[in-house]
Amino acid sequence: MGRMHTVLVAGGGVGGLACAHRLARRLPEGDRVVVFDHRPVHTFWPSLLWVMTGTRRSSDVARPFGTLRDARVEVVQTPVTAIDPKARTVQAGGQTWTGDALVVALGAALDPDGIPGLGVEPGNFYTTQGAEAVWTELQTLEQGRVVVAIPTTPFKCPAAPYEAAMLIDGYLRKRGRRARVSVELWAAEAAPMAVAGPGVSHAVEEALAHRDIAYHPSERLEAVAGDRRQLEFTGHPAVGYDLLAYVPPHRVPEVVASAGLAPEDGWVSVDRHTLETSHPGVYAIGDVVSIPLTMGKPLPKAGVFAFTEGEVVADRIVDQVGGRVSGVRFDGRGECFIEMGRGQAGFARGQFFAEPAPAVRVYRSGRHWHAAKLAFERQWWSQWW
Ligand SMILES: Cc1cc2nc3c(=O)[nH]c(=O)nc-3n(C[C@H](O)[C@H](O)[C@H](O)COP(=O)(O)OP(=O)(O)OC[C@H]3O[C@@H](n4cnc5c(N)ncnc54)[C@H](O)[C@@H]3O)c2cc1C
Give the pLDDT confidence of 231-278 residue by residue, as tens digits. 999 998 999 999 999 999 999 999 999 999 999 899 999 999 999 999
**CATH homologous superfamily for 111-249?**
FAD/NAD(P)-binding domain (3.50.50.60)
Q: Pinpoint the residues of the chain covered by CATH 3.50.50.60.
A: 6-108+252-332, 111-249
Cβ atoms 185, 165 nearer than 8 A: yes
Q: Does 154 sit behind a cis peptide bond, omega within 30 degrees of 0 on the bond before it?
A: yes
pLDDT tens for 331-340 read 999 999 999 9
48 lines ligand 1 (CB under 6 A): yes
Pocket test for ligand 1, best of 8, 9, 14 (most atoms within 8 A of CB): 14
pLDDT at 264: 86
Specify the CATH architecture of the domain 6-108+252-332: 3-Layer(bba) Sandwich (3.50)
> Is residue 19 a contact partner of residue 310, using CB atoms and an 8 Å limit?
yes
> How many alpha carbons lie under 13 Å from residue 50 in its C-beta half-sphere?
20
Residue positions counted in the chain: 385
Residues of the chain with pLDDT under 50: none
**Residue 344: what are its φ and ψ, rounded to 5°?**
-105, 150
Long-range contacts of 346-352 (CB under 8 A, 24+ apart): 346/203, 346/207, 347/372, 348/193, 348/196, 348/200, 350/196, 352/195, 352/293, 352/299, 352/300, 352/305
Q: How many Cα atoms sit within 13 Å of 38 on the Cβ side?
A: 12
Nearest atom (ligand 1) to Cα of 12? 49
CA 70 to chain centre: 24
170, containing H or E segment = helix 160-174
The amino acid that residue 309 corresponds to is E
Which of 33, 232, 235 lies closest to 115 in space, CA to CA? 232
User: Closest ligand 1 atom to the C-alpha of 108?
Assistant: 30
Chain-centre distance of CA 157, in angstroms?
5
d(CA 105, CA 9): 7
Q: What pLDDT sits at residue 3?
A: 84
Q: For a substitution probing ligand 1, which of 134, 156, 340 has the most ligand atoms within 8 Å of its CB? A: 156
Residue 45 CA, ligand 1 centroid: distance in Å: 7
Q: Whose CA is nearest to atom 20 of ligand 1?
A: 303
Residue 1: what pLDDT? Answer: 54
